């Protein structure tokens, strides 16, 4: 294996993985701390934790919600998530790199299944990218980071898939370096982009619920801030 590939899969990957874990952990702890502080300050501290947990779990497997609004977009997003989760977490090559850096890993999934999910992920990412480019509503809501994330994900999916084919026309080492660098780029930017929802997802519904449990006299303070001391009382 070339020296640059050893560095990319060894020290460089360990540094990026550490940055990713610490960044995500920081976001999770700060968000949880803010939610706990909001609950302490709220006038109504009755939070339906069990109901929120059930709602959160139901959204982990949103099969019954895919056919409600923007069907194609919803299925594409779900397919992309499947490709990312299974391809990143259960491919033997990835797990071998993880084991060599941190000393442990978990079971891998059969490669034909992961190849299928990778293709599904590629199709999903392309649909999402084209919808952001060609659909006015999606284009108006899209920012530059949204396009960068999708392009990086497509780079990872396509390069990883092509590298494992017998008909691969690109030198394997160069293609794998491209694949690895794109993967590390995703890990580096994850704590600062929408990808952070992968760690914050369990707290989203709890945070939304707590946001409606205002502090005592909170409504009056908002009115005073917006309209001054002569504002209407709440």
pLDDT tens column, 168-196: 889 888 898 899 999 999 999 999 888 88
CA 91 to chain centre: 18
> Taking Cα atoms as reference points, which of 101, 57, 76 lies closest to residue 204?
57
For position 223, what pLDDT does the model report?
64
Handedness of CA 173, 12, 158, 143 (dihedral sign): negative
Angle 204-205-207 (CA atoms, 0-180°, nearest 5)? 65
pLDDT, the chain, mean:
83
**Tens-place pLDDT, residues 131-161:** 999 888 888 888 888 899 999 999 999 999 9
Angle between helices 49-60 and 197-211 (to 10 degrees): 140
Task: Report the alpha-carbon distance of residue 229 to residue 232 in Å, rounded.
Answer: 9
Comparing 22-36, 41-55, 149-163, the range with the smallest average pLDDT is: 41-55
Q: Is the pLDDT of residue 118 over 80?
A: yes
Q: Which domains does the chain have, with CATH numbers?
A: 3-28+53-213 (1.20.950.20)
pTM: 0.78
- In terms of phi and psi (left: phi > 0; alpha: psi -120 to 50; beta: otherwise), the region of 71 is alpha
């Amino acid at each position: 294996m070339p020296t640059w590939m050893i560095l990319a899969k060894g020290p460089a990957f360990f540094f990026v993985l550490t940055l990713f874990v610490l960044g995500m952990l920081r976001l999770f702890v700060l968000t949880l701390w803010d939610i706990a502080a909001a609950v302490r300050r709220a006038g109504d501290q009755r939070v339906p934790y069990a109901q929120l947990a059930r709602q959160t779990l139901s959204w982990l497997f949103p099969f019954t919600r895919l056919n409600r609004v923007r069907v194609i977009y919803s299925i594409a997003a779900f397919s992309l998530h499947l490709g990312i989760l299974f391809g990143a977490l259960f491919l033997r090559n990835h797990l071998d790199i993880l084991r060599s850096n941190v000393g442990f890993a978990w079971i891998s999934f059969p490669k034909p299944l992961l190849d299928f999910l990778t293709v599904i992920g590629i199709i999903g990412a392309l649909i999402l990218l084209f919808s952001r480019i060609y659909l006015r509503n999606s284009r108006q809501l899209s920012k530059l980071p949204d396009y960068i994330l999708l392009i990086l994900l497509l780079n990872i999916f396509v390069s990883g898939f092509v590298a494992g084919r017998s008909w691969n026309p690109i030198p394997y080492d160069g293609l794998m370096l491209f694949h690895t660098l794109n993967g590390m780029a995703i890990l580096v930017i994850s704590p600062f982009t929408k990808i952070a929802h992968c760690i914050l997802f369990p707290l989203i519904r709890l945070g939304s619920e707590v946001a409606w449990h205002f502090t005592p006299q909170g409504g009056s303070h908002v009115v005073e801030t917006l309209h001054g001391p002569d504002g209407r009382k709440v």
